[in-house]
Structure 1
Amino acid sequence: MNVIQESLGQINHQPVFSFTLKNDLGLEVTVINYGCIITKIMAPDQNGQFENIVLGHDTLEEYMEDSSFLGAIVGRVAGRIQGGSFELDGKTYTLAQNNHPNHLHGGMNGFNKVVWDAEKLEDGVCFSYTSKDGEEGYPGNLAMKVIYKLTNENELSIQYEAQTDQKTPVTVTNHSYFNLSGDLRRDVLNHTLTLKSDKFLELDQTFIPTGHLADVKGTPFDFTSEGLIKTGAVSEHPQNVLVGNGYDHPFVLNENHEHEVILKDLESGRTLTVETDEPAVVVYSGNSLSSEGSFRGVPSRKYLGICLETQGFPDAIHQPHFPSIVLDEGQKYSSVTKYKFGLIER
């Protein structure tokens, strides 16, 4: 196992570094301490050819200008909060409506837009950041840690830890866009997905959960058996059409740490298995990716990547029957998501 640290530059006089985690099998994961962004994952295909399997950029400036949360840690609260406000213990907190009329992924300068402290580990890197009381409108000083570790079994784990000195909502996720074809040679419509999920959260016109847990059976949201991402893109189901012809929906997980999410690209032979202790995964099929710009020379377009955002239920702060995302003073927030990179058995 090797961890290589390199300097990328500075943001507001704060040094920014990249950390490349490389295991004994040659798999590489590169992360930076700006936004805890995963910039590159080099994984082998069925012929042993190593290629990048996430959307990313080569320069720090491109990440600073990015508005797609590319590869980043998002929070304090991943997903949308209706109306950009919430109430806790009788007090109303007002947040940025950066996805009008709602609040999205922590606000204008959420976790994805700050420089984190970094500590190199033997098998990874630990990022830490204290979000001050009132930052982006949230209450309490929140001490946050994000730990990336890579194993020789081609498994990347992301561990989240946090503590607060005041009651506050917290649910954090990684927003990587995966594309298992390798170096973005194809879009993800012919990727297949398997999900251990019988229900998804129905969305309203502003992408806020209505509170209704809809059955996947008989719909394009049924991935209990392996299905194509393309299914949602061509579907006339109102929920698929609503989000731009595809998926941008939270799926309720039936199990945890039991191969609950499996993504495959049949042509390259690559697989990605995601396991988590979170109650949901938001599947976003890149429906809103801009047709402007590029990723390392590949023009941006719809469906070029797919996000698998393990997290608490979006807008849980307004939905009493959803699992709570409120962290109490002195309570420890802890969550682990693991990404196992493999190959289809032929």
Structure 2
Amino acid sequence: MVNIVKQESIFHEGQEIALFRISNSSGAFAEVTNIGASIVSIFVPDKKGVLSNVVLRYNKLKDYLSDTFYLGATIGRFSNRISNACFLMDGIGYHLDKNDGKNSNHGGYNGLNRKIFNYHINNESVTFYTGSTDGEGGFPGNLELWVTYSFSDNNDFQIEYKALSDKRTPVNFTNHAYFNLSGKKNTILDNQLKVNAEKYLETDNEFLPTGHVLDTLGSAFDFSDYRTVKEMSLLKKDNLQGYNAYFIRQDNKESLGSVKDIISGRVLDVYSTMPGILFYTGDFLSGQFIPFQGLCLEAQYYPDAMNHTDFVSNILEPDEEKTDLIIYSFGAEK
């Protein structure tokens, strides 16, 4: 039996900011807020049955208004980077916000992570919904988006994205939760990662795809079996200590990948309708967080897809509803 309660409510510039708790029959629960339709916490058991929060969070709701790390936020209109903050579609050039040097990142200055969503409590889920006007961030079309969160009795946390636009427009939604399965303030470098991918995208020093699709086998990106982040990162030859890499899913694999914390026994498996996953190790976390305190497993479409004709893009056609799913499935090995 799922139970949903509004935990807290404050107001910012006349808009309500609310925190909701979704509890399942086992006692595990997740908390979400309508600021950026963000995940605030997910409390799941370890191998001994002890509940701990496994995502990084701010302690106060108002802190999400000044967040710079996209902590648990819904990302869009287009997650990840778009080179030179522009793209060509149907013979028309579109110029986007340059919020990452000369490039656009995560939807620009007024991405979905900045919006205070409306909300609706359903029987066993919470739906956040908002709009993005034609031209916002440089993107075409009046976009409507619904983000629905649910948490099953099996400790499966599901996100459903449902989008509608009145013009042809590229979209790429994901969630930017930072996971730390230990439930403690330590690094994720000893976590064991497995990614069901034989290919990944080569990127340059600005984390933009070069257009080359490379084999993972035998490389620092070979997570075909469980390997620790620390041991694999020592094999890397780029300018980043950790990872910020997009892996292309294997068609014959149901899940995109998983991560294990050996001490707590917690395991997270990621499933999605999307064609790949971005693995980021939180290298640039700071302030109340420490670098590598959490890792992101962002199921999404190819970054910068509009500027690479051979990449899988996600174009939303006018008045055609599009739905994608992400499922974070939690368990524990004894």
Task: Look up the equivalent residue of 1:213 and give its one-letter code.
Answer: V
- Find the counterpart in structure 2 of residue 96 from structure 1: 97
The 2-side partners of 1:58 and 1:302 are apart by 19
Going from structure 1 to structure 2, the CA distance change for 1:257 and 1:335 (only over 3 Å counts) comes to: farther
Task: Look up the equivalent residue of 2:207 and give its one-letter code.
Answer: F
Are the aligned partners of 1:232 and 1:245 in contact in 2 as well (CA < 8 Å)?
A: no
| Equivalent of residue 317 in structure 1, options 279, 295, 306 | 306
Within the alignment, does 1:199 sit opposite 2:199 as a pair? yes
Structure 1 range deviating more: 220-229 or 253-262: 253-262
Task: Look up the equivalent residue of 2:213 and give its one-letter code.
Answer: L
Within the alignment, does 1:171 sit opposite 2:181 as a pair? no
- Find the counterpart in structure 1 of residue 109 from structure 2: 108
The 2-side partners of 1:256 and 1:12 are apart by 49
The 2-side partners of 1:205 and 1:261 are apart by 25
- Find the counterpart in structure 2 of residue 73 from structure 1: 74
Within the alignment, does 1:82 sit opposite 2:87 as a pair? no
Give secondary structure in 2 for the equivalent of 1:162.
strand
The 2-side partners of 1:321 and 1:221 are apart by 22
Within the alignment, does 1:263 sit opposite 2:264 as a pair? no
The 2-side partners of 1:303 and 1:234 are apart by 15
- Find the counterpart in structure 2 of residue 297 from structure 1: none
The 2-side partners of 1:20 and 1:255 are apart by 35
Within the alignment, does 1:280 sit opposite 2:281 as a pair? no
Are the aligned partners of 2:258 and 2:267 in contact in 1 as well (CA < 8 Å)?
A: yes
The 2-side partners of 1:57 and 1:205 are apart by 30
- Find the counterpart in structure 2 of residue 131 from structure 1: 132
Unaligned 5+ segments in structure 2 are: none
The 2-side partners of 1:105 and 1:74 are apart by 6
Aligned residues: 333
| Equivalent of residue 330 in structure 2, options 335, 341, 344 | 341
Going from structure 1 to structure 2, the CA distance change for 1:169 and 1:16 (only over 3 Å counts) comes to: same
The 1-side partners of 2:12 and 2:104 are apart by 25
Superposed CA offset, 1:266-322 (max 9, x none):
0000011110110010000111212xx21xxxxx22110000000000000101100
Are the aligned partners of 1:257 and 1:276 in contact in 2 as well (CA < 8 Å)?
A: no
1:231-310 superposed matches below 5 A: 231-235=231-235, 237-238=236-237, 241-242=238-239, 244-255=240-251, 258-290=254-286, 293-294=287-288, 300-310=289-299
Structure 1 range deviating more: 264-273 or 331-340: 331-340
Are the aligned partners of 2:8 and 2:20 in contact in 1 as well (CA < 8 Å)?
A: no
Task: Look up the equivalent residue of 1:227 and give its one-letter code.
Answer: R
Within the alignment, does 1:223 sit opposite 2:223 as a pair? yes
Q: Percent identity?
A: 35
- Find the counterpart in structure 1 of residue 144 from structure 2: 143
The 2-side partners of 1:127 and 1:81 are apart by 26
Q: TM-score, normalised by structure 2?
A: 0.97
Alpha-carbon distance, 1:256 to partner: 7.4
Are the aligned partners of 2:78 and 2:106 in contact in 1 as well (CA < 8 Å)?
A: yes
Are the aligned partners of 1:256 and 1:276 in contact in 2 as well (CA < 8 Å)?
A: no
The 2-side partners of 1:255 and 1:23 are apart by 32
Structure 1 range deviating more: 249-258 or 196-205: 249-258
Going from structure 1 to structure 2, the CA distance change for 1:101 and 1:208 (only over 3 Å counts) comes to: same
Are the aligned partners of 2:256 and 2:276 in contact in 1 as well (CA < 8 Å)?
A: no
Superposed CA offset, 1:5-27 (max 9, x none):
13331222111111100001111
1:5-44 superposed matches below 5 A: 5-44=6-45
Give secondary structure in 1 for the equivalent of 2:49.
coil
Alpha-carbon distance, 1:140 to partner: 0.4
Task: Look up the equivalent residue of 1:206 and give its one-letter code.
Answer: E
The 1-side partners of 2:193 and 2:330 are apart by 14
Structure 1 range deviating more: 1-10 or 264-273: 1-10
Give secondary structure in 1 for the equivalent of 2:137.
helix
User: CA-atom RMSD, angstroms?
Assistant: 1.3
Task: Look up the equivalent residue of 1:95 and give its one-letter code.
Answer: L
Are the aligned partners of 1:8 and 1:17 in contact in 2 as well (CA < 8 Å)?
A: yes
Alpha-carbon distance, 1:201 to partner: 0.3
- Find the counterpart in structure 2 of residue 328 from structure 1: 317
The 1-side partners of 2:251 and 2:116 are apart by 34
Task: Look up the equivalent residue of 2:139 and give its one-letter code.
Answer: Y
Task: Look up the equivalent residue of 1:198 and give its one-letter code.
Answer: E
Task: Look up the equivalent residue of 2:247 and give its one-letter code.
Answer: F
Alpha-carbon distance, 1:154 to partner: 0.7
The 2-side partners of 1:320 and 1:267 are apart by 44
Give secondary structure in 2 for the equivalent of 1:231.
helix
